[in-house]
């Protein structure tokens, strides 16, 4: 998709459409859109290959990011980014903050790392899932075979190729699941290494202990000190009709223009 002047708009359109759909599904009282500010220094020091092999963002998508931020500001939605701070950690920090304040939380992401956050107060909504299922522990167990509390150990054992994290050689999702179902935690696995019947598997797990324990620190989401935003700031504000109208006109988003004008007429009645 391109605007009449040739500016690419596919990412902008997809973002707005998806966010609108998720808001209708969840009906949130507070919203924050968090952006990656780069890789966490502690993680890259622990593993040089951490997220190093990810494909770069396509040029025609990168140029649309500023426009999305401008749309969010015009729509009255809070957005946050800081250099050197990974979005995953900010989202986790915010989720725990909101949970402590008695709020129910929905994290909108397709990243399996967020499975570790899921509990009775924090659920997950995958923007790519057309069923709009709000994931709870039941869905995590069905998908992975382990509970949300075991996700860090599960990923630490099998590794995560997407993030460049090597696991125990020969240990995939099913083997990691079986080990954790038997022993519950990585700590228990290493305390009872001799009980693993396969000598070959036992040897591989024992040899990879340092990597597995390092992986736990790489995978585990952490609370960051940079986030000091009050929850009240995340309540959506009034939208800027004039700015939104200009954006939709410039991008040739005719459906969104109609919706905007219908909403405007309703406010004036």
> Is pLDDT of 136 > 80?
yes
The answer to whether residue 188 sits within a structural domain is: yes
Q: What is the CATH number of the domain that holds 82?
A: 3.40.50.1010
Mean pLDDT score across all residues of the chain: 94
Mean local confidence (pLDDT), 5-33? 96
CATH of the domain at 209: 1.10.150.20
Of the pLDDT bands very low, low, confident and very high (cuts 50, 70, 90), residue 266 is low
Tens of pLDDT, residue by residue over 80-121, are: 999 999 999 999 999 999 999 999 999 999 999 999 999 999
Q: Is 249 domain-assigned?
A: no
Phi first, then psi: what are they for 207, rounded to 5°? -70, -25
- Is residue 24 domain-shared with residue 63, that is, in the same domain? yes
Residue 122 included in any domain: yes
Is 167 part of any domain? Answer: yes
In a domain, 192, yes or no: yes
List the structure tokens of 260.
């905007």
Write down the pLDDT at residue 57. 83
Burial of 44 (0-12, 13-18, 19+ CB in 10 A): middle
Q: Is the pLDDT of residue 18 over 70?
A: yes
- Same domain as 111, residue 152: no
Are 94 and 181 in a shared domain?
no
Query: From CA 199, how far away is CA 42, in angstroms rounded?
Result: 35
pLDDT of 58 reads: 87
Nearest Cα neighbor of 121 from 149, 90, 100 is 100
Same structural domain, 101 and 214: no
The reply to whether 97 and 184 lie within a common domain is: no
Query: Can you give the pLDDT at residue 268?
Result: 46
Q: Are residues 133 and 162 in the same domain?
A: no
Regarding whether 118 and 33 lie in a shared domain, the answer is: yes
Is the pLDDT assigned to residue 36 strictly greater than 70? yes
pTM of the complete model: 0.93
Please report the pLDDT score of residue 59 as a whole number: 86
Q: What is the pLDDT of residues 51-72, one digit of tens each?
A: 988 888 888 899 999 999 999 9
pLDDT for residue 220 is more than 50: yes
**What pLDDT does 269 receive?**
40
* Domain-embedded: residue 142: no
CA distance 43 to 86: 10
Among residues of the chain, what percentage have pLDDT more than 70? 98
Would 259 be classed as within a structural domain?
no
Each residue of 165-208: pLDDT tens digit? 999 999 999 999 999 999 999 999 999 999 998 999 999 999 99
Structural domain of 92: 10-137+221-241
Task: Give CA separation, 106 vs 9, 28, 172, in Å.
Answer: 27, 9, 29
Find out whether 158 and 172 touch, Cβ atoms under 8 Å: yes
Asked if 198 and 226 sit in the same domain, the reply is: no
Which band of pLDDT confidence, cut at 50, 70 and 90, is reported for residue 265? low
Q: Is the residue at 266 inside a domain? A: no
User: How many domains in the chain?
Assistant: 2
Looking at the structure, do residues 38 and 153 belong to the same domain, yes or no?
A: no
Same domain, 22 and 121: yes
Q: pLDDT band at 267, cuts 50/70/90?
A: low
- Per residue, the 3-state secondary structure of the chain, as one string, reads CECCCCCECHHHHHHHHHHHHHHHHHCCCCCEEECCCCCCHHHHHHCCCCCCCCCCCCHHHHCCHHHHHHHHHHCCCEEECCCCCCHHHHHHHHHHHHHHCCCCEEEECCCHHHHHHCCCCEEEECCCCCCCCEECHHHHHHHHCCCHHHHHHHHHHHEEHHHCEECCCCCCHHHHHHHHHHHCCHHHHHHCHHHCCCHHHHHHHHHCHHHHHHHHHHHCCCCCCCCCCCHHHHCCCCCCHHHHHHHHHHHCCHHHHHHHHHHHHHHHC
């Amino acid at each position: 998709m391109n605007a009449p002047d040739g500016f690419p708009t596919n990412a902008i359109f997809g973002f707005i459409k998806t966010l609108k759909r998720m808001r209708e599904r969840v009906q949130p009282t507070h919203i924050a859109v968090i952006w990656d500010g780069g890789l966490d220094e502690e993680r890259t020091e622990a593993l040089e290959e951490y997220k190093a092999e990810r494909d770069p963002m396509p040029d025609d998508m990168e140029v649309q990011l500023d426009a999305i931020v401008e749309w969010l500001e015009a729509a009255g939605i809070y957005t946050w980014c800081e250099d050197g701070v990974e979005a995953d950690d900010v989202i986790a920090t915010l989720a725990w903050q909101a949970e402590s304040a008695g709020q129910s939380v929905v994290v909108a992401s397709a990243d399996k790392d967020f499975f570790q956050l899921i509990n009775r107060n924090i659920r997950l909504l995958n923007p790519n899932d057309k069923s709009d299922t709000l994931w709870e522990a039941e869905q995590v167990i069905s998908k992975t075979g382990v509970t949300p509390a075991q996700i860090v150990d599960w990923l630490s054992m099998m590794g995560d190729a997407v993030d460049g994290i090597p696991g125990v050689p020969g240990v995939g999702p099913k083997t990691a699941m079986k080990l954790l179902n038997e022993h519950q935690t990585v700590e228990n696995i290493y305390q009872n290494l001799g009980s693993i019947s396969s000598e070959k598997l036992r040897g591989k797990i024992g040899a990879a202990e340092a990597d597995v324990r390092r992986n736990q620190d790489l995978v585990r989401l952490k609370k960051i000190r940079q986030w000091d935003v009050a929850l009240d700031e995340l309540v959506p504000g009034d939208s800027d009709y004039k700015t939104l109208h200009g954006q939709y006109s410039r991008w040739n988003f005719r459906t969104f223009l109609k919706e905007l004008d219908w909403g405007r007429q309703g406010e004036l009645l």
